[in-house]
Amino acid sequence: MQEKQIRDAIEQVKSGDMPRRAFIEAMVGVGLTAPMASMMLMHAGVAQAQPSPVYKPTKKGGGGALKVLWWQGATLLQPHFANGTKDQEGSRIFYEPLAVWDNDGNLVPILAAEIPTRENGGVAADGKSVTWKLKRNVTWHDGKPFTADDCVFTWEYAKDPATAAVTIAVFKDVVVTKVDNYTVKVAFQKPTPFWATAFVAAEGMIIPKHVFAPYIGGKSRDAPGNLKPVGTGPYKFVDFKPGDLVSGVAYDKYHMPNRPFFDSIEMKGGGDAASAARAVLQTGEYEYAWNLQVEDEVLKRMEDGGKGRAHIIPSGDIEFIQLNLTDPWNEVEGERASIKSKHFAFTDPAVREAMALLADRQSIQQFIYGRTGIATPNFLNNPAKYRSNNLKMEFNVDKANAILDGAGWKKGADGIREKGGKKMKFVFQTSVNGIRQKEQAVIKGACQKAGIDLELKSVTASVFFSSDVANPDTYGKFWCDMQMYTTTQTQPDPERFMNQYVTEEISSKANKWQGRNIARWRSDEYDRTFKMAEGELDPVKRAALFIKLNDLVCKDNAIIPLISRPRVRGAGNKLVTTLSGWDLDFSQLQNWYREA
């Protein structure tokens, strides 16, 4: 089928003249997989219905042990210090927010009695507040009651700069008040179109006041609860070995009927994505594996083993490269990669433009990701209404060479470009992962043709994504020239996702390298535009502002988007999960069960 025919077929689906199923069957008929056809529709802005499975168990427990595999092991179990998805997931076994996102971008109540709306009086007409009604008869795992006091405390805890919570941006500009024991009000400084941030999803987990109150502020890192959680979730803490194992048992007083199904959970960490995929899809040693960043052809061969299957869930996650605009090798006032320093090469816009031209996204998609990723020039890719059509992908070594020549970077006798006595030799780091090392090799090969020497560095994932402030190799410190990883979009609204490039979020020693602007890119125009987007109530105008934000950071080439990644997970054939492309894997863990 020719490209024009595919485009015409997509338009027929969008207009309603062709059923989605007929399109997918047509694509399968010409050699594509069904998930890839679904991804094509998603990128064309065609909504994909993903109804949640019906929960069938009629009693709590009886399901035995649930063994899941996270090849990046959790390093702490405090959701407000969780700088990476692995730590958020480990925490989510035990802690819960008021609500989570389902795969269609709808809010589902967890600790909330209902989702606030205009109709039920929960959302103020002026957009300046939202009132949450809490579930009653919910208890913490130590038997203490869950009340509005815990919500207010979580807000006080996270917004305190001395606590150094990674969730401070979610809580610092709101005011949370207790209406009564089971009602809290979240007030905003101005009309706020997207109010579902505080107490929602990955960054909204609520912690118990009676456990953490003695450790607010400067004592936050000393709390025993950081490693021994006391939550309200479906499983109660048993054991934790950082980077290796998290285990829990079913909480017999869990607040949802007939849940959880499993008697215990074991979250094993370590290894790599390929071994995790093998353990679920081929050997059946585990029932679930997270983040199968494995070459598509390898996944397909493993699925032939018959023990499990890959789940491909559309999302807003993006695999991308960051170029360090600061000097990672020298200290300024005792700080490496200080915002007061400048990178000798990447502060030159011409160099950044050349680096973007040396990223062969199409080859990375075609030969590495297959059905599990789509090449893109955009950082913000989904939902479709926020995706920019203003940027184009271009891989052009000759053009990159010409740009570098024009900027005065000349090739020396060794073939490496230099200027002002500084050679274009960069350290390019990422986590240890088969796909990522192949991506690095593709980038390195193109750079060699342009007179740029890349030293490839691979850091064990549990170290690279660690929240440990003493570790020099974390991605939050970014103490090298370039780095690559995937950042996850944890809500269908991009506000929290796009605050990764505001100035106040710059990662630094002062905030214990917990700031989300790890690239340390600064733009007054970006900051102004983001503030406008935060308060724009017109959804069309707001979408346009987010598109502008995407274009600002991408056109400046401080980052180089590579692959728009659906979430690829592995599950045993009998395991029934409830997954969302907009939230954590464990966002609805209480609904997981095993078919007989």
User: Tens digit of pLDDT for each residue in 29-51?
Assistant: 565 545 456 656 655 655 454 45
Q: What would the mean pLDDT of 521-532 be, rounded to a whole number?
A: 97
The structure tokens listed for 414 are 């060794």
Q: What is the DSSP string of 142-201?
A: TSPBP-HHHHHHHHHHHH-GGG--TTHHHHTTEEEEEEETTEEEEEESS--S----TTBG
Q: What would the mean pLDDT of 50-79 be, rounded to a whole number?
A: 91
Please check whether residue 316 is in contact with residue 384, taking contact to mean a CB–CB distance below 8 angstroms.
no
Q: Return the pLDDT at 280.
A: 97
Estimate the crossing angle of helix 397-406 against helix 349-357, to 10 degrees.
170
User: Tens digit of pLDDT for each residue in 180-206?
Assistant: 999 999 999 989 989 999 999 999 999
Q: Return the pLDDT at 474.
A: 95
pLDDT surpasses 80 at 9: no
Q: What would the mean pLDDT of 379-401 be, rounded to a whole number?
A: 95
Q: Return the pLDDT at 554.
A: 98
Asked whether the whole model's pTM tops 0.95, one would answer no
* Count of Cβ atoms closer than 10 Å to residue 382 Cβ: 25
Q: What would the mean pLDDT of 380-395 be, rounded to a whole number?
A: 94
The structure tokens listed for 207 are 């912690």
Q: What would the mean pLDDT of 404-433 be, rounded to a whole number?
A: 96
Q: Return the pLDDT at 47.
A: 47
**Helices marked H in 55-99 — which ranges?**
85-92
User: Tens digit of pLDDT for each residue in 116-154?
Assistant: 999 999 999 899 999 999 999 999 999 999 999 999 999
Q: What would the mean pLDDT of 61-74 be, rounded to a whole number?
A: 96
- How far is it, in rounded angstroms, from Cα 51 to Cα 333? 54
Residue of higher predicted confidence among 508 and 50: 508
Instruction: Write down all domains in the chain, each with its CATH number in brackets.
Output: 1-61 (no CATH), 106-221 (3.90.76.10), 314-492+560-567 (3.10.105.10)
Half-sphere exposure (Cβ direction) of 312: Cα atoms closer than 13 Å: 24
Mean pLDDT of the chain: 92
- Model confidence at 462, pLDDT cuts 50, 70, 90, reads confident
Q: Return the pLDDT at 374.
A: 93
Question: Cα angle vertex 86, ends 112, 151, to 5°?
Answer: 25
Q: What would the mean pLDDT of 417-433 be, rounded to a whole number?
A: 96
Chain-centroid distance, C-alpha 57: 31
**Helices marked H in 513-556 — which ranges?**
524-535, 539-555
For the chain, give the percent of residues with pLDDT over 70: 92
Half-sphere exposure (Cβ direction) of 504: Cα atoms closer than 13 Å: 13
